[in-house]
Structure 1
Amino acid sequence: MRKPYLLALALALLALFLGWRTQQALDAAPSAGDSVARHAATGWQPGAPAPDPPPPPDTASAVAAVKNRPLFRSDRRPYTEAAGAPARNFDAELARLSLIGIMAIGDDMKGIVVSKGSSNTERWEVKVGDDLPGFKVKAIRTEGLAVTAEGREFLLPLYAGPPTAAGGGPVRTEVTRKEPAPAQPKPATAPAATPALQRPVPQPAVAPPTGPAQPAPAAPQYPRYTPRRR
């Protein structure tokens, strides 16, 4: 009866011993030789390391060149916001000038312009094509000077009175278009009086002049017809 128990105890001790040895083998680090042998057994060998791909080319400079100067138009430049320059006040500039007269010598016409609003009065005698401060004379007319600036045309009218504003305000003579006066209706004329019809006055009969009586013309004589007897 003791033999089976002893056999079972011996088998249990053997199993514990084998398990302990297996655990020690698994816990121990494998050597380099073992690794090479293991890799050789599996048949896989690591290849040569591939070189890293080259970095992509830098296109920032090319893109900037195309943006700043497009290929289709070499004269174009990159867009830049223009500085907000204040708009010119042409009325205020023209208000500092006054056309005091137009001088004509033969076919040559000149306009006499003086400055206003400053202690030193300047005077110009200009003709067509001459320059005034900020303007260019385009034509000399009877009502004033036609001047241009920045593609726009203005009229500097002939001076017609003292300034009406202080501090260099707009004192130009405004030329207004004269509208034709409405035609006055003609007064109705009374119809001419119709002359009264006058009754004709009978004129007295005038007797013919008397003279010797004229003989009456004789009646023509015809032969008398006499029938013949048979």
Structure 2
Amino acid sequence: MTEFVLVAGAWLGSSAWDEVAQELRAAGHGVHPLTLSGLADKRGAPAGQQTHVQDIVGEVERHGLRDVVLVGHSYSGIPVGQAAERIGDRLARVVFVDSNVPADGESFVSAWPDGRAMVEGSIAEHDGFWAPLTAADYAGQGLTDEQIARIVAGSTPHPGATLTEPAVLERSLGELPATYIKCLLDGAEPAPDVAALLKSDRWRLVEMDTGHWPMFSQPRELARILLDATGPANPST
């Protein structure tokens, strides 16, 4: 039995995975949707980026999980990538869902130069938090009005320190068994740092014809890809 640890991106908590988790459990696997410190039902807890890394590592260790597939969406690819390195032989695979990936000494904002001023400006204006998106910001991402309403209702301000603190890695992510899911409505090609990692024979690329929040727009399809990720590694395609 595979144990899936699911971590949503900025602003979101564990409830973002409800439909995906249902599909994975129905297939007979263990599922652990995780809310990171400072978000959703953990709002108010102090959090930096390394807090989020420890949230993920702690979930694995607390439950004694093995054969773990760590899944990180969007921002959460950064702490998930670091946690994947730290859980050692408990890791079966790490899956990055249209996400950022960590680089040693680099932060979320340093990896996103075009949006850095916007993110840092929002953090400064909102007492150290990145303000959630509005409903209009989700246009063109393959979401229904109902799905957008669910995302907006489930969003809370995101702790700014998690976005500005640097990642800490001891080795290249290319050494880890990984799947990268690219959501095509959010851009046809992976970012350059992801493209470089996909040259590793331990990484594979999967494309989804949807937007940046597939756990809402295509949960069954996303669950199927996650289930497929537990199989033997193939070269990126």
Which TM-score applies when normalising by structure 1?
0.17
Structure ID, larger Rg:
1
Greater RCO (Cα-Cα under 8 Å, separation 6 or more): 2
Which TM-score applies when normalising by structure 2?
0.17
**Bigger proportion of residues as helix:** 2
